[in-house]
Amino acid sequence: MSPAFLLMCYLSGAPAGTLHFENVNTCKYFKQNLNEQYIVIGEDEKRYYTKFLEKYKDIKKWHENLQSEAIRYKRVKLPTGREYAFPYAERTPWGGSTYGTQIKNYPVQGFATADIVPLACINIHKLMQEQGVKSLLVNTVHDSIVADVYPGEEDVMSKIFKQGTSNVIPSLKEYYKINFNVPLDTETKIGINWLQMEDIK
pLDDT at 2: 43
* Cβ(171)–Cβ(122) below 8 Å: yes
What pLDDT, on a 0 to 100 scale, did the predictor assign at position 197? Answer: 80
The DSSP result for 87-126, as a single string, is TT--B-TTSSBTTHHHHHHHHHHHIIIIIIHHHHHHHHHH
Q: 121 - beta bridge partners?
A: none
How far is Cα 191 from Cα 196, in angstroms, rounded to an integer? Answer: 5
Q: For 29, which DSSP code?
A: H
State the amino acid at position 90 in one-letter form: E
Distance CA 14, CA 8 (A): 17
The answer to whether the beta carbons of residues 76 and 107 sit under 8 Å apart is yes
Q: Does the structural domain 4-11+112-200 have CATH classification 3.10.50.40?
A: no
Percent of the chain with pLDDT over 90: 40
* pLDDT number for residue 41: 61
Q: What value does the mean pLDDT take over residues 31-36?
A: 44
Q: Check residues 109 and 10 and name the one with the higher pLDDT.
A: 109
Angle in degrees, CA 18, 11, 156, rounded to 5:
155
pLDDT tops 90 at residue 84: yes
Residues 165-178: pLDDT tens digits? 889 999 999 999 99
pLDDT at 1 over 60: no
State pLDDT tens for residues 37-74. 444 566 777 788 788 888 888 888 999 999 999 999 99
What pLDDT does 40 receive? 54
Which range has the top average pLDDT, 29-38, 56-65, 127-136? 127-136
* Domain positions in the chain: 4-11+112-200, 21-106
pLDDT mean over 20-32? 39
The pLDDT, as a whole number, for residue 61 is 93
Mean of pLDDT over the chain: 79
